[in-house]
Copies of this chain bind each other. A is one copy, B any other.
Amino acid sequence: MRTLLLAFSAVMLALAGLSAPLNAQEPLEKTGELPPLYRAEMDLAEGFVSDMMASGVVVPVPADPGGGYTHEQHKRNYRAIYLAGQLYRITGDRAYADYVRDMLLAYAELYPTLGEHPAKANQNVGRLFWQVLNDAVWLVHAVQGYADVRDTLSAADRAAIDDRVFRRAAHFLSVESQATFDRIHNHATWATAGVGMTGYLLDDRDMVDRALLGSDKTGNTGFLRQTELLFSPDGYYTEGPYYQRYALMPFMVFADAIARNDPERGIFAHRDGILLKALRTTIQLTYGGYFFPFNDAIRDKSLNTDELYHGVAIAYAETRDPGLLAIADWQGRTILTEDGLLLARDLAAGTPQPFDFRTLLLRDGPEGDRGAVAILRDGKGPDHLALVAKNTSQGMGHGHFDKLSWQLYDNGHEIVRDYGAARFLNVVAKEGGRYLPENESWAKQTVAHNALVVNGTSHFGGDADLADRHAPRQLHFSSVPGLQLSSARIDTAYPDNPVAMQRTLALVDVAGLASPVVIDVLRATGETANTYDLPLHYAGHIIETGFVVDRELAGRRVLGNSHGYQHIWVDGTARVQSDGAFMTWLLGGRFYSYRMAAQPDLQVILGESGANDPAFNLRREPLVIQRVEGAKETTFVSLLEPHGMSDGATEQTVDSQSLIASLQHRKYNGYDLVIVETKRGGKTVLAISNDTDPDKQHRANIDGRMVRWTGFAERIDLAGEKN
């Protein structure tokens, strides 16, 4: 029994250890109580840093653009400074501190010799990197590593590094690059964070105040103002999730530093807790861990990113929200700060609750009145159904001309797609990793989105400045059992030949169907005879079309010559005159049928992206376009139905064909009535009043039957014979 007793004691000691306070004197590691996630993170850091230490200090004269050797080496260096500093703090091993010192002394030699980076591409040129942004990121990391070892340095080394690296870098970012520093923009957030944290470390109040309040210290610019202007009241960052993720890191890291150094500022409570709200919103803007790829987004960005390891750990330390533990568990990563240690400990102590992914509306704009993102979710977990209606404003220079566009996720896959950016990050042969020409000519254009195109021209004629001056209006958002619905409108997307667009997107339960369906009602009202195109960028292999396609079999023409149309190959066209306007595709073992309500002269164009792409910069992905020509107004009513499954392992295929018999649209009194009939005879109506008065009562006659509802919209079940 002796062994068992000893084991028992060890367990009790370990349990006691878990709640023991941190010993500030003793290096953390000596206390022998590191939870697995934190220990794994240390191992990763030790692996990286020991490789770096083995290669010696390599601080090259800057030469290359993004992806090139000197670019990547300086990135490796700031990671090494940052991590080696933390490892010194944790282990007390002087070798780490000495390495950080030697590295920073090498920078102290180099930095004062630098002028503009030779790979300068625009006016925002950096010193160590081709753009000033990367210099700011370098500073944010390096100053943290330096903080961990600064006390170990000789006075001479400290002075050399303080003056020749950090003061100079801060001066470069805040004075020499003042135009960037004083912007309300994520580049400025990185710059203010770097400068402010340097100020805290060097006890330079002037530096801190300029970071917090802008160069003129009025608060019209600077970090605090950024927290007010860059996020909406719902914590949405106007450039979209990809940049939100990126922007969040300096916000969270600098806020953490402010909270420690200037606790009286209550930074995390500032503006109703906007930073913590923004962190949660960032997570809500994902499916399967991947960000919705709005605007200039790199599609492989997920929550598995350094920015979110920091964000989640810092927010957890502030809030103890157990859902954040689930996110950290999914990430399988954290950071080596005290916040990371706390998170890793609490995660080790039990199974986390799932993060609360839910249906919600995220308003855009500092005042929340510049459109919104509406997220409609059905179900839970990795296979749930999520509809994303992008009714936001343009989102500045990285915005796309995609007003009232949408996406759909289901069964772990993106079903209705957003292209994201045309860019191969850090890939030298792809223009040094910068945005490619096709980002302008395709990725930003309206036809590259699930959005209405009028007369073959992108929204705002593709003018980003004009686009930034107008935003959609979110008319309605609601969620009740059986019906989740968003409706938004914009009248200004075509200023020269005005077209009012209103789009209602809903997840609607249909009696007899296992999954809700998407109903999409897009009204376009112009003043002259226009051509209206409504593209749908789907993912999957076509299984069946309910219309006869006039195929382009032996040669493939291009659909147009500008506004993105030059990038579309035509696979075929169809005229649709009956209710047979559906097509079915297969993705990830599930079938999807897209059904288009009949309307006069409705054409369907099947195509694929990738034409006029000399350098093979585009992905080749299918799309379908509904087209109505020569009409002043039109209403596109579409339905997307997930159905059935095809399982390769069991060779079982179920419901590979649509379960819906027909989709009809009736206009009546300004109402839109959408009638869905299933093959088994069930009939479901989505009745939309288009009236935002929540209490107003409405009624309409459908085939002799009166239906009544209240407010903007309701789902009405007209029981069928065999239902």
Contacts and interface: CB of A to CB of B under 8 A. Distances in A.
Interface string A25-55: 0000000000000000000000000000000
Contact of A653 (B8, B305, B306, B425): B425
A553 interface: yes
B558 A646 contact: no
A612 B654 CA distance: 29
Interface string A414-439: 00000000001111111001000000
A555 B544 CA distance: 26
B72 A429 contact: no
A651 B304 CA distance: 11
Nearest to A648: B300
Nearest to A306: B650
Contact of A620 (B545, B608, B651): B608
Given A556-B555, A558-B554, A569-B556, A426 B613 contact: no
A611 interface: yes
A551 interface: yes
Contact of A646 (B8, B305, B426, B619): B426
A429 B546 CA distance: 11
A302 B543 CA distance: 23
Given A616-B542, A656-B67, A427 B555 contact: no
Contact of A554 (B429, B611, B649): B611
Contacts of A620: 608, 620
Given A304-B649, A542-B616, A428 B553 contact: no
Contacts of A584: 429
A4 interface: yes
Nearest to A67: B653
A658 to B, nearest CB: 10
Copies of this chain, whole number: 2
Interface string A610-636: 011110100110000000000000000
Contacts of A154: none
A398 to B, nearest CB: 16
A481 to B, nearest CB: 26
Contacts of A302: 648-649
Nearest to A655: B428
Interface in A534-561: 541-545, 551, 553-558
Contact of A544 (B429, B543, B608): B429
Given A430-B543, A653-B67, A656-B428, A614 B646 contact: no
Contact of A543 (B1, B429, B555): B429
A517 to B, nearest CB: 19
A652 interface: yes
Interface string A640-673: 0000001011111110110000000000000000
A543 B554 CA distance: 28
A173 interface: no
B426 A614 contact: no
A168 interface: no
A207 interface: no
A416 to B, nearest CB: 18
B653 A426 contact: yes
A63 B712 CA distance: 48
A653 B67 CA distance: 6
A298 B542 CA distance: 17
A566 to B, nearest CB: 8
A347 to B, nearest CB: 19
A700 B566 CA distance: 55
A183 interface: no
B542 A653 contact: no
A575 interface: no
A586 interface: yes
A301 interface: yes
Interface in A507-546: 541-545
A680 to B, nearest CB: 14
Contacts of A558: 554-555
A551 B610 CA distance: 12
Given A555-B555, A555-B558, A612-B553, A653 B427 contact: yes
Interface in A343-379: none
A162 to B, nearest CB: 29
Contact of A657 (B300, B428, B543, B650): B428
Contacts of A555: 555-558
A496 to B, nearest CB: 28
A254 to B, nearest CB: 20
Interface string A391-428: 00000000000000000000000000000000011111
Contacts of A545: 616
Interface in A1-32: 1, 4-5, 8
Nearest to A545: B616
A41 to B, nearest CB: 14
A221 B558 CA distance: 59
A426 B647 CA distance: 10
A84 to B, nearest CB: 17
A617 B193 CA distance: 54
Given A72-B654, A541-B619, 11 more contacts: A1-B1, A304-B649, A425-B648, A427-B586, A427-B656, A428-B657, A429-B656, A553-B612, A555-B556, A556-B611, A571-B616
20 contacts: A1-B1, A4-B8, A72-B652, A300-B648, A305-B648, A305-B649, A426-B651, A427-B646, A427-B656, A429-B544, A430-B543, A541-B616, A553-B611, A553-B613, A553-B614, A554-B566, A555-B556, A556-B569, A556-B611, A571-B616
Pairs of residues from A and B, 3 with the lowest C-beta to C-beta distance, nearest first:
A300-B648, A426-B653, A542-B616
